[in-house]
Each structure stands twice: as C-alpha cells, then as structure tokens.
C-alpha cells in the first residue's frame, strides 16, 4: 500500500512542482510589490521630513523678520502715534483746570444750547439722514450738543480726553468714550453713524491729524450722514489776533475756505459754510462813533469794511453731507 502511495506521489510530482513554482513566483512578485511600496513609503516619509524642515526654516525666518523688522516698525509707529497725540494735546491744562476755563470763557450751558440750536434746521431738512444710527460728537466737552441731540431722539456717543467731562456726561446717561477722537473714529465700522460733529476741536489739531479725522468721518458716516465742524472764524480780525489765543491749547486758526476745500476733497458733497452771526462782543464799537462823525461816502465805505473785518461772525461751521 505504501508503495502504491509512493508511486502516486511520483506520478503527480510534476504537478506539485508546477504548483510550487507558481507559488514561488507569486511570492516573489508579492515581495517585489511590497518592496516597491516600502520604497515609495520611504520616499514619501523623506519628502515629509524635508517639508517639515522647510516649514521649520520658514518659521524661524518669519520669527527673525518679525523680531528684527516688524516689531521695531510697530514700536516706531506706536512712538510716532504717541508723539502725534502729544503734539495735538501739547499745553493742555489739567482736566479740572480746563473745565473751569470753559465755564469762565465759553459761556453757560444754557447759552451754548441756544447757539447750537442753529444746526437743528439743517438736520431736519436732511431727508436722507439715517436717524437710526448713532450720532458721534468728538471733543464733546460738557455735552450740550449730546443733550440737544438726545432730545431729538438720536442715540449719541460722546468722545473726550478730559476725564471730568467724561464723568459729567456719563452721569447724564450719555454713552461716552474717554480717549482720542481720531482713534475712536478709526475703531468705528464703515457707514455706522448718522452725524459726526466736532465743535471747537479742529483748531487744536495738527494738519495730518485733521486730514485723517475728516477722511475717517467720511468712512464712518452712512450715506446721507452729516459732518458738522465748528471753529473760531479767523476772518474776524479780533478773533484771529486776540480771542483765538485766549485758549492756550489752540494750535492754528482754520480758515473756512480751507476747511471747505478739505471736506470737499475728502468726498463730501453739499459742503456749506455757516457764519454764525450771533454777536458776543460789545454792540457799541468805535466804528459806531466814527460813523456818526464821517460825512465822506468813501470814508464810510472804508469804515464799513473795517467793521466787517473786526466784527464778522466770531465763529463759523462747515456742514456737509455724504452722498
């Protein structure tokens, strides 16, 4: 029986041999494929290692650039910003001193409110004014304009560096920002306000700050929004030569025609100069006495010219609309 089995095996030996060879071939191909896959995997891992090294080098380079270039530039810009702010506020009184100064020379809150009411018709006549957006008053001081606008159902935001003014206005329920006017405008979103106003602020600012302030106001105002800038009128000789310098924090008088150009150049339309005719000076002047004594018509015309120059409106305002 064993012999028979042996013979059977010998008979099938070629078949077994072929099967073994096929298995060996398949195993060989499998080993080759596995090796190729391993080589591909190794190459990919090597590529990943190279990319990681490049990323690390790029991170190191970025850190070096930030440390050596960006950070010094940021520090320099911060220093320039602080210097610009110091220039804008150089010579300021301590907060309480300036509050007392305004109480003495600016007029009572009741008097200021009467003067400010001259702007209400311009607001009422602007049918495109987006009254659902806040009104911003830069350098709001004692807050008379904030009070007046609140009475007209506006949401108001007051901005002032003076902590005393800030506290007084906040105690009356106004939303306040204690800081720089330009910085606050820069922080505002595009087309987010209805009115941007600044009463007796622009004469405190350097040229660059003034230009940036008007440009930022244009950006912040919604279409139909209004810009109101009030300032002492240098066309009044008594103002430009005398009373302007009563406030030691003033820097330079701003001519109304210059401001009209600047506001128009920054994109505003319907730019109007308002000469505020309210007279805060002695109504009886040397010109009145001279006029009664003069008979020559030419002399009277010369006198009228001088009267206009000396007793022109002491203040003016730029009122402009963003189309």
Q: What percent of the chain has pLDDT over 90?
A: 46
pLDDT in tens, 54-90: 878 878 877 776 777 777 777 776 766 666 555 544 5
Q: Is residue 5 scored above 70 in pLDDT?
A: no
Using DSSP, state whether 271 is helix, strand or coil: strand
**71-107 per-residue burial string, b: 16 or more CB within 10 A, e: under 16:** eeeeeeeeeeeeebbeebeeeeeebeebbeebeeeee
Question: What is the pLDDT at residue 75?
Answer: 77
Q: Is residue 250 scored above 80 in pLDDT?
A: yes
Please, what is the average pLDDT of the chain? 82
In terms of DSSP bridges, do strands 269-276 and 175-178 run parallel, antiparallel, or are they unpaired? Answer: unpaired
Contact 224, 131 (CB under 8 A): no
Q: How many residues does the chain have?
A: 323
Is pTM, for the whole model, over 0.75?
no
Rounded average pLDDT over 12-33:
63
pLDDT interval class at 308 (50, 70, 90): low
* 177-to-161, 173, 188, 223 alpha-carbon distances in Å: 8, 13, 12, 24
User: What is d(CA 119, CA 130) in angstroms, rounded to the nearest whole number?
Assistant: 16
Lowest mean pLDDT among 86-90, 210-214, 228-232: 86-90
Q: Among 128-142, 274-288, 293-307, which range has the highest average pLDDT?
A: 128-142
Question: What is the pLDDT at residue 103?
Answer: 75
Question: What is the pLDDT at residue 22?
Answer: 67
Contacts of 174 (CB under 8 A, 6+ apart): 140, 143, 146, 150, 156, 157, 158
């Amino acid at each position: 029986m064993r012999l028979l089995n042996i013979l059977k095996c010998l008979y099938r030996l070629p078949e077994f041999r072929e099967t073994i060879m096929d298995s060996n071939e398949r195993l060989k191909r499998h080993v080759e494929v596995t090796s190729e896959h391993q080589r591909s995997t190794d190459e990919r891992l090597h590529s990943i290692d190279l990319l990681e090294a490049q990323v690390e080098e790029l991170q190191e380079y970025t850190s070096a650039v930030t440390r050596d270039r960006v950070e010094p530039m940021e520090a320099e810009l911060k220093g320039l910003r602080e210097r610009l702010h110091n220039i804008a506020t150089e010579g300021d009184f301590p907060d309480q001193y300036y509050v007392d100064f305004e109480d003495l020379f600016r007029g009572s809150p009741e008097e200021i409110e009467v003067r400010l009411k001259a702007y209400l018709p311009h607001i009422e006549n602007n049918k495109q004014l987006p009254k659902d957006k806040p009104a911003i008053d830069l350098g709001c001081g004692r807050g008379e304009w904030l009070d007046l606008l609140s009475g007209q159902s506006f949401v108001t935001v007051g901005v002032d560096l003076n902590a005393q003014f800030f506290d007084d206005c906040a105690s009356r329920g106004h939303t306040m920002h204690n800081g720089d006017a330009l910085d606050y405008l820069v922080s505002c979103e595009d087309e987010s306000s209805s009115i941007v106003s600044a009463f007796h602020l622009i004469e405190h600012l350097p040229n660059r700050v003034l230009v940036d302030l008007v440009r930022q106001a244009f950006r912040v105002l919604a279409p139909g929004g209004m810009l109101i800038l009030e300032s002492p009128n240098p066309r009044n000789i008594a103002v430009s030569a005398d009373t302007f310098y009563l406030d030691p924090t003033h820097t330079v008088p701003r001519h109304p025609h210059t401001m009209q150009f600047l506001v128009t150049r920054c994109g505003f339309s319907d730019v109007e100069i308002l000469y505020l005719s309210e007279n805060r000076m002695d109504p009886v002047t040397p010109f009145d006495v001279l006029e009664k004594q003069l008979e020559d018509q030419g002399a009277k015309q010369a006198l009228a010219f001088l009267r206009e120059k000396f007793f022109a409106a002491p203040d003016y305002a730029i009122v402009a609309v963003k189309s």
